[in-house]
Structure 1
Amino acid sequence: MAFNDLPIDTLKRKIDEVKRFLSISLSISNAHTVDFYTRDVWSTFMCVSPEEVLHSISSTDDRMGAVEEKENTTFGFCNASKKLVDISALLRAAKAHSVPGLGVCMQLEELMDNLTLIYGDTIAGDSSCKVPVPDEFMNCKKAHEVQAMSEVVASLAECCRVKQVIDVGSGKGYLCSYLSMRFNLQVFGIDSSSTNTHGAQERNRKLKKFSKAYQKPNRAIGNRALDSEDGSKQHSENSDGNTNFITKEKGRFVAQAETSDLSKQVSSDLSASDNATLDPSDWDAGSSFLGTLSLDVIEDASPRVHPSRLSLEERERRKRDNLERKEREGRRNDSDSSLFSPLTSYVTAETELKTLITELEDAVLVGLHTCGDLAPSSLRMFGAKQELRAVCSVGCCYHLLSEEFDEDRRGCVSGVCGFPMSQYLKDQACFCGRNARMSACLALERVSAGGGLPMESLFYRAVLHVILQDHYDCFKSEKRVGNVYSKASSFVDYVRRALRKLDLDETKLSDGDIQSYHDRYTPRMDEMVAFNMLKVTLAPCIEGLILLDRLCYLKEQENVSHSALVQLFDPVQSPRCYAVIGIKESTV
């Protein structure tokens, strides 16, 4: 059975549907909250009351069913005035044109099933072997993301028969450490911040304390068996060359790899008797004591003889054995530490990876919440470099994307922009706008679950803009006020702090003058609340267009055999929950 790819013709049809809807509704998302009162945004776009909007959004009934739209309207907008006259029609259309509503997203279980069907049933991402992520080093959100994404990345690596992973925008290195420790993958974490890479290195050192919990149980059980009274014992050699015994008791396998305490017990028991003598031929393999020890420990548990009673040849032999053992352990530790290599570099689609990674082999390219243009750059890198066999990219910060058809093309590097990526949307000169991309970062599921919006701070900023327009002829609206709200004790304090930050004369206004603006616009605050809730409702549609563009780009590449859009995370915990997955044909 083939990988259940979404046909590119179907994808293009879905893109056209989203584009048509946004061509009418995108004006709401592009309206700037700062200008809400100075440009009377509500009256410009709306022919319904704020109360009607809020009631419809909070009522699930208005979203259900296909109700015929009012005459001379499209998606609830009047064809003549271009204003919203039917809120229920808009909400239904927004739901239908979001990623879930379009039916273009592959479920995680379906992805894993597809990989199993193509590449066999021994992929590393078997969900039955999940190991908890230690939350001492990351919050619940990050732990959720790392565990879910690592399963997919490890599966892709197994499918493509590669042992290397390149994480672009690796940040603090949580995903890198988890992939290297649990799945024994060699991971190169690339981040432009030296602070991040140095911190990731130190954090990885601390995380090694938990490496045994990370390590995925080895499914291959060795052929060597030891008979016993209680049952059979088998051992398997892990990737580091250590031998772990597996005891079969009453039909179940119990891993017994923790030997340090037992080693101490052996030493204590042996030293308790000066005349202790043990003949290895007399050891009972079924013993609950020695049967759980690794071979190294058993070999060390030889009869204790005072050095003065040993021959010169025996003393030299033991010295050589000890030196060889230390060298083996040193090589093993060096190998472990090299599994994760943080690198500091700014990467683009043109970056030559082999100059950064001298030991580069075929690898999986990953990015967990790569900001702005880094997500599309990594997808372009995947398409251009043959050594990159698969990609798993989760983007974020859509407001930092550069747009090819923006008037000033801000942020485009060497003429290459982050949106659109696909030739299909390039040919249509598709454009969103920064405010709309900013709106795409809003989290509908989180707001619906009670997360809310920072409405008071937005209200303060919009009323401040009215004050600047009324009293300062050359007000610096282009200069960012910044996070003044968090430090302010009241609206008056907020305005005064903002005026000082903008280098404006605050003596022009008394406290009473400032407070009067607050009192005048407070009755209209519900307009802003309702309008921003509409922005939240439209956010998944804008995000969907950006993600479908990236998926379409992969489908346009001749060397990419399989591609999909997959929901990896719980959208309430992690709003940017979609991954763009790509796989190249195997060269084996």
Structure 2
Amino acid sequence: MGPERPLPCSPEFETSEQYVDSLLDFIGTSELLQALCGGVHVLDFFTRKPDLYSLVIDPDWRSFFRSHNIMDILDLLMRENLDVFDIGTDSWREGPVPPASLLQYIKQIRKLSLRREHTPIDRRAQKGANGPKTTHTLARQVAVGMNVKKIHEVDNFCRYLDKLTTEIADSTDREITHLVDFGAGQNYLGRALASEPYNKHIIALESRAHNIEGARNWDVLAKLAPKQPTMVNKKEWRVRQQAMAEQGISEKEAQKTDLKGKRGFHAETPAAPQEEPAQATLKISNSGVGSIQYVEHYIKDGDLSRVVPQIVDQDAIREKVTPDLEAAATRPPSSKQLPDNFVEGNLQIDNSIKAQDPRLLVISLHSCGNLVHHGIRSLLVNPSVSAVALVGCCYNLITERLGPPTYKLPSLRSNHPRLTQTAEAHDPHGFPMSARLCTQNTSSGEGVRLNITARMMAVQAPQNWGKKDSEDFFKRHFYRALLQRIFMDKGIVPAPAPADVENNNGSPLGWSAGGGTAPIILGSLRKSCYESFVSYVRGALEKLVNDPTRGEQFTEKMASMSDEEIREYEADFEERGKELSVMWSLMAFSAGVIEAAIVVDRWLFLKEQDEVADAWVEPVFEFKHSPRNLVVVGIKK
């Protein structure tokens, strides 16, 4: 069960343990990696002295980057066959060859990044020659509402989970009875798994009621659930029509305002009776095999004690334990039969999908932040959970466990309020999970620390960038960094104070005492704002002058700024725009190692637990469609 190697690492490593040793040693000792992934923030690129590019990038590297365009540099980082430089080439792409130290760094990052190649599962071969065609296992109505990316993810993950549950049943002689989806959202995955050809019993856990309601609506659109009939009170309808006519409101106008949560007319009419709530359990497929149970539940620490008792078939347990039903009725059930927190039917789970001895597989497709950590811990804290298979994303939303990192370069210390706030969280459920990473010796002390900047870079996918994508990324970063410089020059944010080199004890300083400027939350802007830097500045100011706390300051200090002055800023910093593009490319490329550390930490945590029989990591999607394509699997003994 599982792949030949528990981690999809480079074949250059003989074992996964050897890979982990090399990965953690590099993360803990490479000052360049620590600077690129966690020490550099785009907002500070044009405000620091000395500037970040000169501070972080070696002079030989800067000379090479000056001689080549950014697309060639991206090719070198991620696609070029580096063996061509071993034969003593004099030039590369009509320019100088890369410095040996740069080539060595690129080789190291490539070597330590996890392999992402995905081999699709042939379900026909798995189920036999008469199985369904392998091109697409999702029925058309099941795929309703999904884009191409989501169809790819759901289709492949369904195949993978079907194969995994089969292998678990074959190896343990006990079948998985239910799949528990952590953070089900609109339940695209659960809807597919409950349908043909999989017919699984799904417990869809979701903390937001509106997501559950939305998922039910998709069930109806997919023709997997009947539409709830709407009962109309004719008397009330006539009163409504009369009130609308008196106010001159058409039915169409009333519907529009109703969609916004407002009444389209004003009339003192009795409130309509509430509709009966839809059944929590959705029976799917003609044979009635698959099912979906929606549960509004806030997941914390992986504890499913409120959910699991509801799917235990207590009647079957009573019949098995006490054949004499009359005798059983005369004495109270034992604590093993009915848990203290058991409330009959409080989740409205249909009796037909209950199990005498439920064996759960906890799954999740692109669960954000700590939700993967809670899913992994569910294997340990719930006796009924037999296995987990989790695909994570949004590493920037993971909390930090060990506190702020330190930097040997003083001016790269944490200097933004958000960095300070997240670093001081000390969340026991944050990163790292494993004892191995918590005790790993690094150049900055004990334990591997990744701040929010490093983790945010880990969700980049530079291998998928095309020329247009890259230009858009670089333009946005250039505009935002240059706008921060304008804010500093206009006195909206103070200039960074000189870094305290002698007292670099690693404790995060506030922005007024560190090497950066105070961040200003700008948010998204209209697409038209990126047509020129003038448009960008005007669009940003349009939002910022309406800020309830600082709007007057922006109006006072920047209202008189002319278009010509804005263009002068762009012209003065235009050449350094390429430097920012090079830096961002190096950051995104290097962050492949950061993602590897996060995934490996989860695998190590599972391996450290006595209750876990096996654990592994493998790709389940095509990277070009879905870059966060690694599933972490754990099987309980």
Structure-2-length-normalised TM-score: 0.62
Give the Cα–Cα distance (whole angstroms) in 1 for the partners of residues 132 and 384 of structure 2: 25
**Equivalent position of 1:419 in the other structure:** 431
**Equivalent position of 2:295 in the other structure:** 343
Give the Cα–Cα distance (whole angstroms) in 1 for the partners of residues 205 and 598 of structure 2: 24
Say whether 1:383 aligns with 2:380: yes
Q: 1:428-467, CA deviations, whole angstroms, 9 ceiling, x for partnerless residues? A: 2111221111111100321269743521111110000110
**Equivalent position of 1:481 in the other structure:** 522
Contact 2:199-2:290 within 8 A present in 1 as well: no
Judged with a 3 Å threshold, the aligned counterparts in structure 2 of structure 1 residues 578 and 331 are, in CA distance, closer, same or farther, namely: closer
**Equivalent position of 2:479 in the other structure:** 460
Contact 2:183-2:367 within 8 A present in 1 as well: yes
- Aligned residue for 1:148, secondary structure, equals helix
Greater helix percent: which structure? 1
Shift of 1:110: 9.6
Contact 1:402-1:412 within 8 A present in 2 as well: no
Superposed counterparts of 1:421-440, under 5 Å: 421-428=433-440, 429-440=447-458
Say whether 1:44 aligns with 2:55: yes
Contact 2:194-2:284 within 8 A present in 1 as well: no
Say whether 1:404 aligns with 2:398: no
Q: 1:252-287, CA deviations, whole angstroms, 9 ceiling, x for partnerless residues? A: xxxxxxxxxxxxxxxxxxxxxxxxxxxxxxxxxxxx
- Aligned residue for 1:367, secondary structure, equals strand
Give the Cα–Cα distance (whole angstroms) in 2 for the partners of residues 536 and 64 of structure 1: 23
- Aligned residue for 1:44, secondary structure, equals helix
Shift of 1:170: 0.9
2:21 to 2, 8, 16: 16
Say whether 1:35 aligns with 2:77: no
Superposed counterparts of 1:402-551, under 5 Å: 402-407=399-404, 410=422, 415-428=427-440, 429-447=447-465, 451-452=469-470, 454-474=473-493, 477-484=518-525, 486-488=527-529, 490-499=532-541, 500-501=543-544, 503=551, 504-505=554-555, 506-551=558-603
Give the Cα–Cα distance (whole angstroms) in 2 for the partners of residues 14 and 549 of structure 1: 13
Q: Which amino acid aligns with 1:64?
A: D
Judged with a 3 Å threshold, the aligned counterparts in structure 2 of structure 1 residues 52 and 11 are, in CA distance, closer, same or farther, namely: farther
Q: 1:361-404, CA deviations, whole angstroms, 9 ceiling, x for partnerless residues? A: 21110010001111112111123222111111110011111111
Q: Which amino acid aligns with 1:204?
A: D
Judged with a 3 Å threshold, the aligned counterparts in structure 2 of structure 1 residues 567 and 450 are, in CA distance, closer, same or farther, namely: farther
Give the Cα–Cα distance (whole angstroms) in 1 for the partners of residues 401 and 205 of structure 2: 26
Contact 1:551-1:580 within 8 A present in 2 as well: yes
Say whether 1:145 aligns with 2:187: no
1:202 to 184, 192, 217: 217
Contact 1:365-1:392 within 8 A present in 2 as well: yes
2:75 to 43, 48, 58: 58
Say whether 1:354 aligns with 2:306: yes
Q: Which amino acid aligns with 2:25?
A: R
Give the Cα–Cα distance (whole angstroms) in 2 for the partners of residues 156 and 97 of structure 1: 27
Q: Which has the larger radius of gyration?
A: 1
Shift of 1:17: 1.4
Say whether 1:169 aligns with 2:221: no
Give the Cα–Cα distance (whole angstroms) in 2 for the partners of residues 572 and 333 of structure 1: 33
Contact 2:283-2:292 within 8 A present in 1 as well: no
Give the Cα–Cα distance (whole angstroms) in 1 for the partners of residues 121 and 137 of structure 2: 21
Q: Which moved more, 1:461-470 or 1:29-38?
A: 29-38
Give the Cα–Cα distance (whole angstroms) in 2 for the partners of residues 512 and 2 of structure 1: 63
RMSD: 3.8
2:609 to 557, 560, 567: 557
**Equivalent position of 2:164 in the other structure:** 156
Judged with a 3 Å threshold, the aligned counterparts in structure 2 of structure 1 residues 107 and 555 are, in CA distance, closer, same or farther, namely: farther
Give the Cα–Cα distance (whole angstroms) in 2 for the partners of residues 460 and 539 of structure 1: 23
**Equivalent position of 2:633 in the other structure:** 581
Give the Cα–Cα distance (whole angstroms) in 1 for the partners of residues 139 and 284 of structure 2: 24
Shift of 1:202: 1.4
Stretches of structure 2 that go unaligned for 5 or more consecutive residues are 89-98, 170-174, 227-281, 313-357, 405-419, 441-446, 495-516, 545-549
Contact 1:365-1:391 within 8 A present in 2 as well: yes
Give the Cα–Cα distance (whole angstroms) in 2 for the partners of residues 454 and 32 of structure 1: 15
- Aligned residue for 2:181, secondary structure, equals strand
Give the Cα–Cα distance (whole angstroms) in 2 for the partners of residues 6 and 332 of structure 1: 35
- Aligned residue for 1:351, secondary structure, equals coil
- Aligned residue for 1:454, secondary structure, equals helix
Give the Cα–Cα distance (whole angstroms) in 2 for the partners of residues 364 and 373 of structure 1: 18
Judged with a 3 Å threshold, the aligned counterparts in structure 2 of structure 1 residues 187 and 350 are, in CA distance, closer, same or farther, namely: closer
Give the Cα–Cα distance (whole angstroms) in 1 for the partners of residues 179 and 586 of structure 2: 40
Q: Which amino acid aligns with 1:497?
A: G
Shift of 1:513: 1.8
Give the Cα–Cα distance (whole angstroms) in 2 for the partners of residues 125 and 399 of structure 1: 41
Give the Cα–Cα distance (whole angstroms) in 2 for the partners of residues 2 and 174 of structure 1: 25
1:181 to 158, 181, 195: 195
Q: Which amino acid aligns with 1:437?
A: R
Contact 1:449-1:572 within 8 A present in 2 as well: no
Number of aligned positions between the proteins:
444
Shift of 1:44: 1.2
Contact 1:126-1:151 within 8 A present in 2 as well: no
Q: 1:487-536, CA deviations, whole angstroms, 9 ceiling, x for partnerless residues? A: 52532232233245152122242222222111211222111111111122
Give the Cα–Cα distance (whole angstroms) in 2 for the partners of residues 519 and 88 of structure 1: 33
Shift of 1:482: 0.7
Q: Which amino acid aligns with 2:581?
A: V
- Aligned residue for 1:415, secondary structure, equals coil
Judged with a 3 Å threshold, the aligned counterparts in structure 2 of structure 1 residues 154 and 520 are, in CA distance, closer, same or farther, namely: same
- Aligned residue for 1:339, secondary structure, equals strand
Judged with a 3 Å threshold, the aligned counterparts in structure 2 of structure 1 residues 450 and 97 are, in CA distance, closer, same or farther, namely: farther
Contact 2:303-2:381 within 8 A present in 1 as well: no
Give the Cα–Cα distance (whole angstroms) in 2 for the partners of residues 477 and 511 of structure 1: 25
Shift of 1:552: 0.9
Q: Which amino acid aligns with 1:406?
A: G
Give the Cα–Cα distance (whole angstroms) in 2 for the partners of residues 387 and 409 of structure 1: 37
Judged with a 3 Å threshold, the aligned counterparts in structure 2 of structure 1 residues 191 and 2 are, in CA distance, closer, same or farther, namely: closer
Contact 2:224-2:284 within 8 A present in 1 as well: no
**Equivalent position of 2:271 in the other structure:** none
Structure-1-length-normalised TM-score: 0.67
- Aligned residue for 1:562, secondary structure, equals strand
